[in-house]
């Protein structure tokens, strides 16, 4: 282990090297501001690279009637009126600029014969506004951002795990962390910190995230720095995650499989969507299809392994190979399954954190001076159901805005005060864990958290289960006092897992406590003991360990958007 602490100073520190972090870093570099980006996984393998469907902007290339106002109205409606209207306006208005940025960085969008960017229906959009690149849109976006960051010589350290954001008197002055390979401690001084380290859906057993991402790192770093979380209970469950192999459980089968004509059946061979949405069937919304599959499994009509069947084998082979190449390839690699001949066994899987760190709509600043949050780490846009394709455009719009806001904040500082105590505390936290030699295995405790959340805070929740979940969480937290951390020749992953566990526990507690408080069914949040939507709960729930859950009013929807909120015709298109 290298014990010599590396000390670095930068104007703005970005934590996370996915789409939102890199876009913010690019903005800062283009403005001539010193920036450093840190990540805990390789920059080409971030969560953004998994996004398949597409990216939304009211470009009007296919439907000239489309407008940013209609995009904002669709977003607000689909959020079950929990989105902040101002946030929705900013994203919808800035979306075309976000697409233009990607073009400037060299992204190859799918195009029509005359050169226009192709746009397709995706989700409950009034018009065709989802631009795409095959079913690898996220990967293409990430590639474009990585290339632009390289052109600008932005320093990216993608093996540094951040353990703490450093603050003094309610303002940030940097961060502390360590190198995952050799354990080198890092002390980074910065005027501003941008938190772009993802969500918390890895705290469920089946999830579309990989093993060591989205464990709630952003939530923990923000909360320990003095920020709060908003709507942590609002988690989107994707209807179609695979069940095996276990190390890939939750890997997504793209919704394009349903969009192209895939059929859902239970173990009895029944096409069960007839019971839940007879008009839209498999083209229903993400929250409804997930709830339908969950109900079939829960009531005993699921497969032996606890899933349902998604079948595309009746489709022409050419359709599958040209429209679903990634699904075909993935299933062949993971299960040796030929989807042109066999159905796929799937179940609902935790997919996206629609809540996140509390931020102001205009610049995504938090209540901690100099601390910003963007992407899945933040909150305000998606409410109780995310509109498909909105997450990728959010990264670009707020990446640009937050980059500029952080630069302006730094320029306005007359001096920056640091705290030796805060630095010493961060060092001690790492040293204590490295010295821990208890009998509890960190991985086993992480699994215990995932089991608790899956059992008590999955697609459907109730008071009894949520209270039981909080009791189990108390027991797991008590066991963490006796963990053992053992770095080895392969590196310091074990230390990272110990911090991941701390993050998961905070994220799980916030989720359970907010889910308990939201005594209604709204969008992704299903309470079997409160099956109706409660108008009194058209509020955001804001959580911190200091205050618990408090209700926060949502600003009214402006008249020009309110009159555009409408039931969207879903004939012939995949709904989200």
Q: Which residues are known catalytic residues?
A: 238, 258
Taking residue 309's Cβ as centre, other Cβ atoms within 10 Å add up to 19
φ/ψ of residue 20, rounded to 5: -70, -40
Taking residue 438's Cβ as centre, other Cβ atoms within 10 Å add up to 13
Q: What is the SS3 assignment for 468-483?
A: HHHHHHHHHHHHHHHE
Tell me the C-alpha distance between 46 and 1, whole Å: 26
Tell me the C-alpha distance between 20 and 400, whole Å: 9
59 token code pair: 């470009």
Tell me the C-alpha distance between 36 and 487, whole Å: 26
Distances in Å between the alpha carbon of 312 and those of 87, 283, 306, 327, 343?
A: 38, 14, 20, 11, 7
Tell me the C-alpha distance between 291 and 282, whole Å: 12
Tell me the C-alpha distance between 556 and 76, whole Å: 11
Q: Which residues contact 376 (CB under 8 A, 6 or more apart)?
A: 20, 47, 198, 199, 214, 218, 352, 353, 356, 391
Tell me the C-alpha distance between 252 and 247, whole Å: 13
DSSP assignment, residue 426? H
> Contact, 229 vs 223, CB < 8 A?
yes
For the chain, how big is the Rg over CA atoms in Å? 23
Residue 9 burial by CB count (10 A; 0-12/13-18/19+): exposed, middle or buried?
middle
Ramachandran bin of 356, using left for φ above 0, alpha for ψ from -120 to 50, beta for the remaining angles:
left
> Contact, 93 vs 25, CB < 8 A?
no
392 token code pair: 């990728």
Location of structure tokens 């910190």: 193
Q: Which residues contact 473 (CB under 8 A, 6 or more apart)?
A: 449, 452, 505, 508, 509, 512
Q: Which residues contact 192 (CB under 8 A, 6 or more apart)?
A: 11, 12, 13, 172, 370, 371, 372, 406, 407, 409, 410
Distances in Å between the alpha carbon of 343 and those of 60, 65, 208, 332?
A: 37, 39, 20, 12
β-sheet bridge partners, residue 120:
130
Q: Which residues contact 567 (CB under 8 A, 6 or more apart)?
A: none
> Contact, 459 vs 290, CB < 8 A?
yes
């Amino acid at each position: 282990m290298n014990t010599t602490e590396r000390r670095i100073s930068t104007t703005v520190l970005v934590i996370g090297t996915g789409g939102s972090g890199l876009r913010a870093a690019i903005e800062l570099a283009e403005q001539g501001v010193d920036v450093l980006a840190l990540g805990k996984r390789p920059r080409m393998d971030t969560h953004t690279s998994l996004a398949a469907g597409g990216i939304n902007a009211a470009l009007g290339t296919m439907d000239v009637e489309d407008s940013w106002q209609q995009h904002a109205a669709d977003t607000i409606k689909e959020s079950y009126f929990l989105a902040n209207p101002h946030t929705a306006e900013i994203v919808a208005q800035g979306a075309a600029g976000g697409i233009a940025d990607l073009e400037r960085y060299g992204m190859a969008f799918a195009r029509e014969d005359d050169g226009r960017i192709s746009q397709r229906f995706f989700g409950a959009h009034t018009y065709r506004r989802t631009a795409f690149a095959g079913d690898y849109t996220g990967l293409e976006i990430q590639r474009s951002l990585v290339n632009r960051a390289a052109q600008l010589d932005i320093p990216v350290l993608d093996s540094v795990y951040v353990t703490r954001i450093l603050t003094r008197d309610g303002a940030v002055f940097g961060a502390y962390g360590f190198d995952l390979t050799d354990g080198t401690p890092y002390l980074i001084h910065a005027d501003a910190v941008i938190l772009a380290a993802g969500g918390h859906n890895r705290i469920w057993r089946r999830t579309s995230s990989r093993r060591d991402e989205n464990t709630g790192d952003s939530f923990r770093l923000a909360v320990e720095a003095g920020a709060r979380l908003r709507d942590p209970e609002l988690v989107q469950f994707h209807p179609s995650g695979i069940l095996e192999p276990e190390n890939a459980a939750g890997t997504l089968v793209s919704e394009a499989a349903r969009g192209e004509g895939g059929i859902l059946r239970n173990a009895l061979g029944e096409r069960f969507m007839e019971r839940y949405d007879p008009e839209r069937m498999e083209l229903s919304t993400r929250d409804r299809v997930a709830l339908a599959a969950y109900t079939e499994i829960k009531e005993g009509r699921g497969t032996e392994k606890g899933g349902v069947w998604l079948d595309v084998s009746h489709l022409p082979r050419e359709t599958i190979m040209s429209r679903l190449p990634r699904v075909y390839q993935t299933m062949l690699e993971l299960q040796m399954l030929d989807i042109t001949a066999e159905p796929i066994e799937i179940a609902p899987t935790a997919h996206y954190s629609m809540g996140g760190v509390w931020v102001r709509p205009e610049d995504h600043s938090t209540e901690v001076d100099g601390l910003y949050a963007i992407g899945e780490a933040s909150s305000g846009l998606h409410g109780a159901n995310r509109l498909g394709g909105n997450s990728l455009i959010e990264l670009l719009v707020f990446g640009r805005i937050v980059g500029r806001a952080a630069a302006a904040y730094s320029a306005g500082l007359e001096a920056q005060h640091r705290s030796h105590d805060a630095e010493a505390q961060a060092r001690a936290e790492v040293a204590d864990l490295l010295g821990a030699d208890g009998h509890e295995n960190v991985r086993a405790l992480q699994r215990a958290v995932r089991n608790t959340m899956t059992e008590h805070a999955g697609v459907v929740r109730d008071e009894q289960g949520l209270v039981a979940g909080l009791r189990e969480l108390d027991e797991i937290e008590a066991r963490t006092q006796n963990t053992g951390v053992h770095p080895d020749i392969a590196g310091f992953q074990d230390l990272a897992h110990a911090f991941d566990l701390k993050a998961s526990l905070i994220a799980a507690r916030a989720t359970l406590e907010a889910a308990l408080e939201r005594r209604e069914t709204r969008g992704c949040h299903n309470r079997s003991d409160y099956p109706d939507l409660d108008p009194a709960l058209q509020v955001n729930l804001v959580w911190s360990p200091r205050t618990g859950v408090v209700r926060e009013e949502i600003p009214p929807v402006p008249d020009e958007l309110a009159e555009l909120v409408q039931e969207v015709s879903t004939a012939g298109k995949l709904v989200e």
